[in-house]
Every structure is written in C-alpha cells, then in structure tokens.
C-alpha cells in the first residue's frame, strides 16, 4: 500500500499537544519491617547506656546440713553496663525556584513531592544500617559517629561457617566486628541448632528475618506448619494455597518468617522485639536550610541509635549462601 501524495501526516504537523499522564508510577519498596516492629524511645546523650544481668547456673549439689550455720557467702556478680552510639543520618536536596513554579505532570509542587520520598529513603537507610556488621564509633571532629549494628552485637547464640568468628566485646559499646566465614547452604539443621542454643540460654523465639534467597530455602523446611493463607476476611471463596510460608514451628517455639530486602543475604536473624528498640536523640525532621541563591534547600535528618536490651535474647545463622 502507498500513501496518497500530499497527505498531511502526524509527522508533518506542528503544535500537537503532548499526552503525559498526571501520575508518577514507582515500584520501589517502602516497607521497613524492623523499624515497624521495634519499639521506639528517646535518647538523651550521644552514648546511651543500660545494664544487663544473668542468674547463676543451677546448682545440683545444693544440699545443706540441718542446723548448719552460715560461714561463707556466695560472691555477687555485678551487672554489665552496655550501650550504643547515636548516629546522624540525613538526606539533602536542592530545588531551583524556577522548577518549583513550573507547571508539572504528576505533582504540583516539586518540594512537596520530594520531601516524603527522601523520608522514605532515610527510613530504608536506617533499616539497612541496623543489619550491617558495623562496630560502634564514638567519632570526633573528623570522624562521624556510628551505631553498633546487629552484626557486631549478637555473640551468644550464633552459628557461623568455617573460619567465621563472633564478636568478642564484653561490656560498653560493641567494638569488635564479626568475622565472615565460608558460606554454606541454610539448612533446617542449622536453624534447629540456633533455636536450641537460644532456648537453652533463656531466649524466646519470635521472628526470623531472612533475605529473599533464604526465604525460599526456609519454605522447604519440614517445620513448616501450613502453606494456607486465610482469605475469609477479604474473599468468601475457599482459602488459597500459596507457595510461601509465614510460620515455622520448632521444638521450642514458633517463628514468624519475615523476608527482608535490606539485610545481608548471608545472615538469618532470630529476633525478639521485646529486646529491641530504636532510640532517637533527634527524631525525623525536615530542616529548611539558609537560602543563598535562586533555589530552596532542604535537609531531612535524624539522630538515632539501636538499643539491644540484651543480646542473648537474639540469635544468628551466619555465612549462608546467597544464590
């Protein structure tokens, strides 16, 4: 077929209006399951401290003579003073005054659009930092303060690969990073070993945080209770069968399995949020910075720290395969 001569085509026309949808589509994940589940408190100093204690082991030889007099006394072990450092995290951006007044698709104000987005990014930063292998840094005039993250804090109940090492801090702010070992497949045997270790040490089983690859590995464990999801509240049809699990039942308690996008894939975290809290010296806030030109400056900032009330309440299966 051929076009008739002098047919006026779209390609020849001028003055055509654009067709741009008045909405912006974004699939970036926004959920931060750790921050959502952890308690929230206030900090008063850049170093926050608290105390931990432990009962003496059971004494199976505790048998005394009738009428015996007391001539010696057991030594009292002092509580342990531990803590963490507050870290300053921020997002900054600059928008020209011209850009702010232009007619835009998907938003009327660039400033009003960008502020909540930077806030979501800041929350995701905090979530990811918490799961790192980062020691506490007190900081100085040239070094930023840093929190001690979970990787440098949990040491009592962990399972590591060949060559892996646990943090060895004893009091104060955790200042010894975990040593990564040879990676291995996440098996139910590893999970059960950590669960048994935690229960023997007095911890309660609550949540298991895993990355996407190891979430699928857990889905094949025999301890899965059910693969059924109750749809009765949203759909009158029978429950749907899905290829994922949310609960693992062990010999010593039930774990809610939670996939996490922001933790290291090589780690599987056994968490009890009764012993976890995020403290804020300065809560999330938007600060208008001084105007020095033809633009508006904004800073979203928070000063915060992680409070692990007692690291023996948590557990870790480390050095897992990631693919």
What pLDDT is stored for residue 227 in this prediction?
A: 53
Q: What's the rounded Cα separation, in Å, for the pair 11 and 320?
A: 57
Taking CA atoms, 213 is separated from 190, 217, 268, 323, in Å, by 16, 7, 11, 6
Q: What percent of the chain has pLDDT over 70?
A: 93
Q: What percent of the chain has pLDDT over 90?
A: 78
Distance from C-alpha of 155 to C-alpha of 165, rounded to nearest angstrom: 9
Distance CA(180)–CA(160), nearest Å, equals 8
pLDDT of residue 224: 65
What's the confidence (pLDDT) of residue 242? 44
Which has the higher per-residue pLDDT, 187 or 234?
A: 187
Q: What are the structural domain ranges in the chain?
A: 33-51+80-317
Mean pLDDT computed over 278-292: 96
pLDDT of residue 226: 55
Residue 269: helix, strand or coil by DSSP? strand
- Alpha-carbon gap, residue 227 to 244, rounded angstroms: 6
pLDDT digits (tens, 9 = 90+) for 200-236: 999 999 999 999 999 999 988 887 665 554 545 444 4
Backbone angles phi, psi at 41, to 5 degrees: -135, -175
**Rounded distance between C-alpha atoms, residue 20 and residue 287, angstroms:** 33
Using pLDDT thresholds of 50, 70 and 90, give the confidence band for residue 237: very low
Please, what is the Cα angle at 24 between 20 and 26, to 5 degrees? 140
**What distance, in Å, lies between the first and last C-alpha atoms of the chain?**
54
Give the Cα separation of 304 and 151 in Å (integer).
17
The answer to whether residue 65 scores a pLDDT higher than 80 is yes
Q: How many CB atoms lie within 10 A of CB 247?
A: 13
pLDDT at 60: 94
pLDDT tens-digit series, residues 119-153: 999 999 999 999 999 999 999 999 999 999 999 99
pLDDT band at 1; cut points 50, 70, 90: confident
Q: Contact 319/266 with Cβ under 8 angstroms?
A: yes
Per DSSP, the residues of 87-131 read EEEEEEEEEEHHHHHS--SS-S-HHHHHHHHHHHHHHHHHHHHHT
The chain-wide mean pLDDT, for the chain, equals 91
């Amino acid at each position: 077929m051929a076009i008739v001569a002098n047919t006026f085509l779209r390609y020849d026309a001028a003055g055509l209006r654009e067709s741009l949808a008045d909405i912006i589509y974004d699939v970036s994940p926004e959920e931060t399951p750790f921050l959502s589940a952890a308690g929230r408190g206030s900090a008063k100093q850049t170093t926050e401290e608290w105390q931990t204690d432990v009962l003496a082991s059971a004494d199976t030889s505790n048998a005394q003579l009738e009428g015996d007099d007391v001539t010696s006394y057991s030594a009292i072990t002092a509580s342990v003073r531990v803590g963490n450092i507050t870290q300053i995290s921020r997002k900054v951006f600059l928008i020209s005054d011209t850009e702010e007044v232009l007619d835009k698709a998907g938003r009327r104000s660039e400033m009003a659009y960008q502020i909540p987005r930077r806030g979501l990014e800041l929350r995701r930063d905090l979530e990811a930092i918490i799961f790192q292998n980062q020691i506490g840094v007190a900081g100085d005039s040239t070094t930023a303060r840093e929190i001690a993250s979970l990787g440098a804090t949990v040491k009592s109940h962990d399972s590591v690969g060949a060559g892996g090492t646990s943090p060895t801090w004893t009091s104060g702010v955790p200042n010894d990073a975990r040593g990564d070992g040879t990676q291995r497949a996440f098996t139910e045997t590893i999970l059960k070993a950590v669960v048994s270790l935690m229960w023997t040490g007095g911890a309660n089983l609550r949540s298991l945080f895993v990355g996407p690859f190891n979430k699928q590995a857990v889905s094949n464990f025999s301890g899965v209770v059910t693969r059924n999801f109750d749809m009765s509240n949203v759909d009158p049809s029978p429950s749907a069968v899905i290829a994922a699990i949310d609960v693992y039942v062990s010999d010593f308690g039930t774990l809610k399995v939670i996939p996490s996008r922001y933790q290291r894939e090589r780690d599987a975290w056994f968490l009890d949020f009764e012993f976890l809290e995020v403290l804020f010296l300065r809560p999330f806030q938007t600060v208008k910075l001084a105007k020095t030109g033809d633009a508006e400056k904004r800073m979203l900032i928070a000063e915060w720290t992680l409070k692990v009330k007692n690291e023996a309440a948590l557990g870790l299966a480390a050095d897992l395969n990631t693919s």
